[in-house]
Chain A
């Protein structure tokens, strides 16, 4: 199985900050990597698919990059509605596991 790790596990940031979250796979997964946002009590929401493609309707302040084993999710100017937990997920093989999540809260 491919293991997914994320760093940091949590971070505190202010509105307007640039935020970068890292996801690492235990083996190369090309660009088979998705990012989701989850707010408390809500279902996850797809942000980025195939490592860097922005899902329809997602603000352009979100971007994804990377290939192989190392990936990043960047929020260029953090907005109040962006405080949430972010998960990466690979879709390279079964099981398509998620990373442990990165919680972004208000500084």
Chain B
């Protein structure tokens, strides 16, 4: 059974930093395309970042240069380092793993989410 458990959320002041973690079981983080998706209060889903099997990464323009996705293969854990946080980064952050069908992919396992609140 696949389980993804996020941690590290909380209240942070604008301009501050936070590091989210996603502990995985039943799936190998280093062998999967892993993503972070966020959802601001009362809003829709926003893709934030992804790390591919080969280690390359992608980011949404809204977080590029401020957020860094990484993984710790020894702990089978995904991370999201968030710097220079802004009020508009306030959201529930989900980690998700993907599977592939041909050249397509989809997010089939999701964590329960961790809330990040950026406020003074």
Contacts and interface: CB of A to CB of B under 8 A. Distances in A.
A101 B104 contact: no
Nearest to A35: B106
B101 A49 contact: yes
Contacts, number: 59
B59 to A, nearest CB: 8
Contact of A34 (B50, B61, B94, B107): B107
Q: How large is the interface on A (under 10, 10 to 19, 20 to 34, 35 or more residues)?
A: 20 to 34
A31 interface: yes
Interface stretch (A18-26, A76-84, A89-97): A89-97
Interface string A36-48: 1010000111100
7 contacts: A32-B104, A46-B108, A89-B47, A91-B105, A91-B106, A97-B47, A98-B44
Interface of A: 31-32, 34, 36, 38, 43-46, 49-50, 53, 55, 87, 89, 91, 94-101
Interface of B: 37, 44-47, 50, 58, 60-61, 94, 101-102, 104-108, 110-113
